[in-house]
Every structure is written in C-alpha cells, then in structure tokens.
Amino acid sequence: MRTIVIVGGGSAGWMAAAYLNGALNKRGRDSRVAITLLESPDIPRISVGEATIPSMRHLLAVIGVDERDFMRITDATFKQSIKYVNWVKNDNTFYHHPFSRYTNSPLDTSGADWLESDRSIPYMETVSAQPLLCEMGRAPLMLDDWSMGTPLSYAYHMNAQKFADYLRDFSIARGVVHVRANLVGVKRQDNGFISRIELDNKETLTGDLFVDCTGFKAKLIGETMGVKVEDCSKWLLCDQAITMHIPYVDHYPGIVRPYTTATALSSGWIWDIPMQSQRSIGYVHSSHFISDEKAELEMRAYQGNDTLKLPSRRIQFSVERRHKLWEGNCIAIGLSGGFIEPLESTGLYLSDLGAVALAEHFPFDDRDIDKLSYRYNRILSNRFYEILDFINMHYCLTKRDDTEFWRTVQRPEHINDRLKAKLEHWQCKPPTPMDFEDQCFFGLPTEASSNLTFPHAPVDTAALWNHESYLCILLGMNSIAQEYHAQSESRRSAPRVYEAVLDQVKQGNQKLPPHALWLQQKLGMKRFPVGKKPAGWLA
C-alpha cells in the first residue's frame, strides 16, 4: 500500500484528499492508497466567497458528492458566466464570458461574420443564450426534468470555508485519517526525498508522497525542498484585495445573480459573488496605485454607505509560480505552488487540477517518479502560463485612460511575450483551433531555452480556454475590429444570431425559473426582505 501525507487543510488540502480517495480508492471502497491529512488547529482560516468553473463538477462527481447536498451545505449558488463591467471604458458597458455557446458546424465563421457586421448585437449574444438568460436572472436548471435540448453548462459560487469543512467530513467518513497538530520538523533521506514529518504532539508521520497544502508559507516545497518561485507580477500588477461579506438579512438586493460580476474600478477590479445567505465582494487592486484607505472607500462606495459598519479584511498576495510543483516525493497543491489573481475564477481550479493530475500520474512504483513528475510539472506549468496569458489579455486590451493604473497596464512592458505573439498572430486572422498545439514528454529531445524548468518553452494548449474563449474576450473588448474597417459602415448588415440561440433564449424565458426561486424550492434557501440595491449594481 502506498501512503500519502497531505500537510495543510483548507480547500486545497481537502480537495486533494477527497479527490485522491475518490480516484485511487474508489471513494473509500478500496485501500490501494492510505491518505492522512495533517491540519494545524492554530492557523486561522480565510473565509471568502469563491467562484468556480465547470471542471468543479468533474471533481465532485469523482469524489461521489451529491450536488444538492453540496450546494445546501456550502451556501452554493449557480454560476453561468462572468460579467465584465467597465473593462473596455469607464462607461458602465459590459460583456459576458459564458460557459455555453452554440458552434455552427462544420465550419464556424461566427467571429469573422460578426466583425464584418455592424456589431449592433454583442458577439456572445449571437452564439450563446447564456448572456441574456443571465441578465434575466434565470437558473441553468428547470424545476422539473430538462426539456430544452442541449443542457447549459454551469459552475458554482460557494463559501470556501464551508466547502473545506464539507469535504473534510465527507473524506473522514470514507477512510481519510485526520490529524490535528502543528508541523515542527521535516526529515529527508539521502536522496533528498522527505522521509517523515515531526509534530508538536511528539508524533511523526511517514509516507511515500508528501503533498504541500500549507499556502503561501510553502513549508515543504519551499522551505524543505528549496524550490524557488518565478515572480510574475510584471504582467499582473494587482497585489492585494480588500474583502467584505454582505449578509442578505439586511442587504438582500432582490435577486441572486446566476453569474460572477467583475467590475473594473480605478486601480483594479471588484468581484461580486452571490451565495444563498450573503454576497462576497473583494477589491483586487495594486497597492502601488492606491492606498489601503482609498481602496476601502472605493469598495464601500461600490456597495453603498449603508454597509459602513460591516467589517472588511485585507489579503496580500504575490503573482508567482514554483519552478516545479513536484520535486522528489513532494507535490505542491494550492497556494504553495503559486498564485494568479482570480479574475477568471481559477483559484480553486488550480487546486482541482493539481489533485486530478496527481491521481492520473500517481507513482505506484518509485522507479517511475522521474517520468511522471516531469509530465506533471509540464502540464501544470503550461496551464499556469495559459491562465497568466489569458488574464494578462483582459488588462492589456482595455481602452481606459482615466487613471494611471489603466494607462500603465496597457504598456508593452506589461504584456508578456507569449501573449504578444498571440495578439500579433490574430491581427492576421481570428483565433482558430490550430493556434493551440503542443506535445512534450520526458526524454523528448528539444532545443534548450531560458526557461528554468523545462528545455521546451511553455505553450498554450487551450486545455482551459480554446479559440472560442479568446474570441469572446477579444471581441467583447472590441480588440481586433480595426482590421475590418475597410467596408463602409453604411453597407454593414446586422449580426446573425443563430436560430438555436434564439430558440434557447425563448425556451429559457418560459421554462427556466428565477435563480433564487430554484434555490428556495430545491435547496431551502431562505426568503429575505428586499433592501437597497448596491450603488455599483447594474441590472
């Protein structure tokens, strides 16, 4: 039997424990791998609202979680899109990045067709019903059995602390050992592998693999294994967030939005995440462009002065990645492996991916560790850079010039070279599937590069965002439209909206309930008196 010791709880630790138990031990029915999770009783936990992406549904399915139980216990709601407000200009305009879209077969020319139209309808509304369904406030599920053709894709908003607690109880009931103590020492073998960890209760834990979920402290992968980090703050300038919970008891706006809102402010952006009992907002900003005091005032101005007595907290972070997430027999999952601001809801996703990839590359024989760890590091590295590029693109495409922050993020020195190459390529043509390809395995002869981890430079494989997602952002921010200005504006026709999209909008208006109504009837969400809507609220 192989043994895994996970050091650190929270969302990352318990996601790893639950998924590995589900994937390797058949949800606790088998005992191929013994899993122990060490959690400190003294480290305070940060409770924030978290938005996810649809991959979370895969993780929950492998773990064996009932969706409605999970949603009920974690204060969860549905998420169908991210709504970007004031990212192009500071004029209350917006666009959606939804999870579902219609693709015309066999050849999708929707992007080029829209660019050659008069663009009187937002691009995503021509290929997806979800932007309008979101604006209607509709749930992605019917109250009865589904009868609207292709199901809508969705993810969740939830309380991250309640999620960790839920996975903890679920995992312990299925065989994961939970130890509450503090880590005080780490012992290594002659080959550099970790042999055991020492606890403040005088006990020791031994294992074949050690998973570091100790957050930014990186007690194993950083302090013990000595793996350094790459600073990526040059491409993403925000370095802290001020967060606040707004309970519905006194501040219910009347609806529960079925999407995440990302509203650009003077020196960053604010997330607005609805749950069943409260909203979570957080102003992600750069401390180099705004003081803590002014940032908090700006966040509260977004919400409104009626919440001045609600507490807030400040979270500092650094945009960075470990040169390797798997070194020897130590694997970093979660913040110990790096951090990217959560503009596209990738915080929990990277922990999710780390657990899924470890299960797929699990070393049942130590002789395979070099091959498996190489590929694991390669995949996680590529995915980090894919996320970095995609989020970097949101900033550099803005046309805002009303503050120094927005003028700065557009400068060439803050656009990384991979993204520059993509954007230059897409001046020739809109994004297509062949723009994203790469295969790199252990032992593959490649030319040396300056990358510190791999001889083969990182490549965007579109494993998370394909050409359709890039089109959504590029056209949502009106980025490559200048290439299509040759035709006279007077000769342009209205954009074509696919019949399948029109039909789904029509059916959704008739069959999909308001999001709050679905939550009330299916999960028992409380009914709250309607209060004043936030100052920054866009209907």
Round to whole Å and give the CA distance between 269 and 87: 9
Contact of 480 with 430, CB cutoff 8 Å: yes
Rounded-to-integer distance, Cα 475 and Cα 111, Å = 8
Annotated catalytic residue: which of 79, 83, 324, 422? Answer: 79
Residues 221, 227: contact at Cβ < 8 Å? yes
Cα–Cα distances in Å, from 141 out to 75, 149, 151, 243, 508?
17, 12, 8, 30, 10
Strands of 189-306, DSSP E: 194-199, 204-206, 209-212, 229-231, 240-247, 260-265, 268-274, 278-285
Asked if residue 528 lies in contact with residue 246, where contact means CB atoms within 8 angstroms, the answer is no
Q: Which of 39, 40, 347 is nearest to 177 (CA)?
A: 39
Whole-Å CA distances, 77 to 156, 159, 518: 6, 10, 10
Q: Is residue 79 flagged as an active site residue?
A: yes
CB-CB contact of 279 with 48 (8 Å):
no
Among 503, 539, 490, 479, residue whose Cα is nearest residue 123:
479
The answer to whether residues 216 and 240 touch, using CB atoms and an 8 Å cutoff, is no
Backbone angles phi, psi at 72, to 5 degrees: -65, -45
Token representation of residue 98: 């939804």
Q: Using CA atoms of 321, 323, 325, 328 in order, give the dihedral in degrees to the nearest 10.
A: -160
From first CA to last CA, the distance across the chain in angstroms is 56
Q: Sign (positive/negative) of CA torsion 14, 20, 194, 177?
A: positive
Alpha-helix runs per DSSP H in 304-426: 347-360, 369-396, 404-409, 417-425
**CB-based contacts of 264, cutoff 8 Å, min separation 6:** 84, 85, 86, 87, 90, 398, 400, 406
Q: Which residues are catalytic?
A: 79
